[in-house]
Amino acid sequence: DAGVIQSPRHEVTEMGQEVTLRCKPISGHDYLFWYRQTMMRGLELLIYFNNNVPIDDSGMPEDRFSAKMPNASFSTLKIQPSEPRDSAVYFCASAREGDVLTFGAGSRLTVL
């Protein structure tokens, strides 16, 4: 298995631009999580899905952030417009019911 695949691995963009981060979960996993990691706030859960349905989005910072999971094998996290304070590493993780999370390698976002 290739594991959880995230793209891009690195993204540098300018303030105001739209950013789209992508995640392909492990096949057969019905849970998908988006986490953000910063020096100041550590690892924060942004949102998670079960069977493609958003279950808890209370961690999404504000309306500039949105996440979708159109099918079991793909999810996106979009930031529009991006701001410098969005600079972070964004992790996607997936899991089967009752099993532990498997994390992707992360997408490092820098907003100038």
Closest C-alpha to 24, from 1, 49, 47, 6: 6
Closest distance of CB 92 from other proteins, Å: 9
Annotate each residue in 36-65 with x if it binds other proteins (CB under 8 A) or - if it does not, as one string: ------xx-x--x-------x---------
Closest C-alpha to 106, from 7, 20, 1: 7
* 91 interacts with other proteins by CB under 8 A: yes
Number of chain residues interacting with other proteins (CB under 8 A): 21
Give dist(CA 101, CA 112) in Å, integer. Answer: 32
Closest distance of CB 81 from other proteins, Å: 27
Q: Which stretch binds other proteins (CB under 8 A): 14-22, 69-77, 79-87, 88-96?
A: 88-96
Which residue ranges make up the site for other proteins (CB under 8 A)?
A: 4, 31, 33, 42-43, 45, 48, 56, 91, 93, 95-101, 103-106
